[in-house]
Chains A and B, each alone.
Chain A
Amino acid sequence: MNTTHLIGVFDSKSELLSGIEGVKNKNFTIDEIYTPYPVMEAIDALGRKSRFSTAAFIYGAAAVVGVLSFLYWTSVIDWPINYGGKPTNAFPSFIIITLVLTILTVTILSLFTFSVRARIYPGKKPFLPDERATDDKFIILFDKNTAGAGFEAISSALKASGASEVYEKEF
């Protein structure tokens, strides 16, 4: 079912930030913010946090154990080869393969995690309230059901803090 949304359009990052402050001071709840480039202050304002580095560390640790175990299994258990009496468990020469494959594993799994968490995948239809957000506008979106106040109050707060345009849209 479609809901009415209020869209506040800003022309620059500094105006967007004063806009966020303006509506937050009045305890209105922002649904989402769309920006043409990453604005950390906007991400913080919505209280969003990412555990990406923790996930990457887990992938890395698992990859190190996995690759070393694989090398040990192939070289020592499955098919040991005698290279002039050298030890089959040649740990120093396993280091490079472990390092490179760990980086590769972390990269691939991080990309998948990104795709899953940010819901970004090939062929997805974009849900963009205002197409100018990927060009030059900074957009604040309010949902009628969750905004915490009437659209008129929010609209005047947005305009007071520098929004160049405020309009309603149903989607």
Chain B
Amino acid sequence: MYKAEVRGPLILGNKDYHQITSDIIAPIDNKTPGWWKAAMGVSSIMAVIGIFSMVYTVRYGLGVWGVNNSVAWGWEIINFVWWIGIGHAGTAFSIFLLILRQKWRTSINRAAEAMTVFAVGCAAVFPAIHMGRVWLAFFIFPYPNTRGPLWVNFNSPLFWDFIAISAYLLISASFWYFGMVPDFASIRDRAKTKLKKGIYGFLSFGWTGSTKEWLRYEGLSYVLGGIAAVLVVSVHSIVSTDFASSVVPGWHTTLFPPYFVVGAIFSGFAMVMTLMIIIRKYYHLEDYVTDSHLNAIAKILVFISLIMGTAYTTEVFIAWYSGNPYEMFTFFHNRITGDYTFMFWAMIICNAIIPQVMWSKKVRSNITALFIISLIINVGMWYERFNIVITSLSKDYLPSAWTTYSPTLIEVGIFIGTIGLFTAGVLSFFRFLPMIAISEVKSVLKPTEITEKH
């Protein structure tokens, strides 16, 4: 029979099961490293800047932002879409690759899910403060109220978005937590101190690893995997309808849902690559997150980059082909040329051109190059959202309403704050939770590797 080695071994270094447990739990058992404390310090300062900016916004109103009547959605919506995009990696990695039976996901899915939860949390901050009166944010919940009872508008994409994001956050968080239960039990049973045993014992829900538990665990993970796979496509499609269902030039297009979904997976995978390289380097987990894993992510990225390039070209083509003067103006005079030229070309270069260097095997095996490219992609994806949100709003049908937009320090501060909250969350995850799914990694350890040892 034809047999080809498509991918190298998933775990290197001839590990046995005990070694796997020890290696992955080591960061929880060991003393907190100095770099971690420094990174946490910087993240906390950033988070404080963000919280100050949010409080300032709530205290003085949206006038402290650079938004105006024409460009009513500024950095806040750019950042919202950007964070949601990054938060797509969790479902894409753990659920899509789970139902596609891709075993190389086992070393990466836990970190991707953690990242999802923190990224979606950061994203949720923006629409909430954008409402202006954040203390009335609960009006968006459809519950029998004393205001009529006036129901929310179920036909509005903005409401769909609220439902989609809240559901996504809840579902990703439960999927993440439930995946960690068996690993919490491993930590509990190895814990030396009473406190640690108590905490991880509580978190492990009394897990023992009996067949009765594993049977339901497998059942649950396939049911959740099957049903939540829809979320990979639905969440960002719904975000795109916030734009596509309007009549603003540059937004009113049926290309938007797939374009947004693919873009989201693109930035999510890039962020996963960034994180996995950090985990590998600083926690010496090279045997689990192997070159072969990074190679696989790089191949996916280069493929998605081609789709992104096609989407950008299609948008421009359709603007010309439709013969619609407003679409033509938006794309040719307000994106390719015009006030926001830099953002347009930054998007093209970062997302569609630079990732193409990953066709070369040499680049795919150069960790520094991959790290830099993964960061460039996320910068590029931010510029993509800038292009979509700002250019279309700044110059639409009425020239007397044309304006430009630049953010104020407060808006920049909120963005910095969410980056700080995100990194603080990820760092806590590195320190206190199992970064790699221990039981899943054990299940992909080749039987030959074990028998050789005996």
**B210 & A34 in contact (Cβ 8 Å cutoff):** yes
In the complex, which residue of chain B has the Cβ closest to the Cβ of A31? Answer: B210
- Among B150, B167, B189, B234, the residue within 8 A (CB) of A134 is B189
**A120 & B219 in contact (Cβ 8 Å cutoff):** no
CB-CB under 8 A for A120 and B181, given A33-B210, A36-B17, A126-B208: yes
Is the C-beta of A29 less than 8 angstroms from some C-beta in chain B?
no
**B201 & A118 in contact (Cβ 8 Å cutoff):** no
**A135 & B151 in contact (Cβ 8 Å cutoff):** no
Please name all residues of chain B whose beta carbon is closer than 8 Å to the beta carbon of A131 when the two chains form the complex.
Answer: 189
Q: Which residues 79-114 in A have Cβ within 8 Å of B in the complex?
A: 79, 81, 83, 90, 93-94, 96-97, 99-101, 103-104, 106-108, 110-111, 113-114
CB-CB under 8 A for A117 and B202, given A107-B227, A127-B208, A128-B208: no
**A50 & B189 in contact (Cβ 8 Å cutoff):** no
7 pairs of residues in contact across A and B, judged by CB atoms under 8 Å: A32-B210, A32-B211, A37-B182, A37-B442, A43-B211, A94-B154, A135-B18
Per-position 1/0 for B367-398, Cβ under 8 A of A: 00000000000000000000000000000000
- Chain B: interface size category: 35 or more
**A120 & B154 in contact (Cβ 8 Å cutoff):** no
**A126 & B185 in contact (Cβ 8 Å cutoff):** yes
Is the C-beta of B163 less than 8 angstroms from some C-beta in chain A?
yes
Is the C-beta of B99 less than 8 angstroms from some C-beta in chain A?
no
Is the C-beta of B164 less than 8 angstroms from some C-beta in chain A?
yes
* Cα of A53 to Cα of B219 in the assembled complex, Å: 7
A-B contact count (CB 8 A): 198
* Cα of A78 to Cα of B443 in the assembled complex, Å: 53
Please name all residues of chain A whose beta carbon is closer than 8 Å to the beta carbon of B217 when the two chains form the complex.
Answer: 38, 114, 118
Is the C-beta of B108 less than 8 angstroms from some C-beta in chain A?
no
6 additional A-B pairs beyond A32-B210, A36-B186, A131-B189, beta carbons within 8 Å, are: A34-B208, A43-B214, A46-B211, A50-B216, A106-B227, A126-B188
**A110 & B212 in contact (Cβ 8 Å cutoff):** no
**A93 & B155 in contact (Cβ 8 Å cutoff):** yes
Chain B interface: which of A6-14, A142-150, A151-159?
A6-14
Is the C-beta of A42 less than 8 angstroms from some C-beta in chain B?
yes
Q: Which residues 179-203 in B have Cβ within 8 Å of A in the complex?
A: 181-182, 185-186, 188-190, 201-202
Q: Which residues 6-22 in B have Cβ within 8 Å of A in the complex?
A: 16-18, 21
Is the C-beta of B215 less than 8 angstroms from some C-beta in chain A?
yes
Is the C-beta of A166 less than 8 angstroms from some C-beta in chain B?
no
CB-CB under 8 A for A37 and B206, given A32-B212, A99-B230, A100-B167: no
- Among A13, A34, A52, A115, the residue within 8 A (CB) of B209 is A34
Is the C-beta of B312 less than 8 angstroms from some C-beta in chain A?
no
Please name all residues of chain A whose beta carbon is closer than 8 Å to the beta carbon of B17 when the two chains form the complex.
Answer: 36, 135-136
Closest-CB distance, A50 to chain B (whole angstroms): 4
Per-position 1/0 for A55-95, Cβ under 8 A of B: 01000100000000001001100110101000000100110
In the complex, which residue of chain A has the Cβ closest to the Cβ of B168? Answer: A100
Please name all residues of chain A whose beta carbon is closer than 8 Å to the beta carbon of B155 when the two chains form the complex.
Answer: 83, 90, 93
Per-position 1/0 for B11-42, Cβ under 8 A of A: 00000111001000000000000000000000
In the complex, which residue of chain B has the Cβ closest to the Cβ of A12? Answer: B450
Q: Which residues does A use to contact B, with CB under 8 Å? A: 11-14, 32-40, 42-43, 46, 48-50, 52-53, 56, 60, 71, 74-75, 78-79, 81, 83, 90, 93-94, 96-97, 99-101, 103-104, 106-108, 110-111, 113-115, 117-128, 131-136
**B227 & A37 in contact (Cβ 8 Å cutoff):** no
In the complex, which residue of chain B has the Cβ closest to the Cβ of A49? Answer: B215
**A97 & B160 in contact (Cβ 8 Å cutoff):** yes
Per-position 1/0 for B121-164, Cβ under 8 A of A: 00000000000000000000010000011110111000110011
In the complex, which residue of chain B has the Cβ closest to the Cβ of A120? Answer: B205
CB-CB under 8 A for A122 and B205, given A110-B220, A135-B17, A136-B17: yes
Is the C-beta of B440 less than 8 angstroms from some C-beta in chain A?
yes
CB-CB under 8 A for A118 and B154, given A11-B454, A60-B227: no
- Among B151, B201, B212, the residue within 8 A (CB) of A126 is B201
**A37 & B230 in contact (Cβ 8 Å cutoff):** no
Closest-CB distance, B147 to chain A (whole angstroms): 10
Closest-CB distance, A131 to chain B (whole angstroms): 4
CB-CB under 8 A for A75 and B218, given A32-B211, A96-B160, A120-B207: no
Closest-CB distance, A62 to chain B (whole angstroms): 14
**B220 & A52 in contact (Cβ 8 Å cutoff):** yes
Closest-CB distance, A6 to chain B (whole angstroms): 16
**B227 & A56 in contact (Cβ 8 Å cutoff):** yes
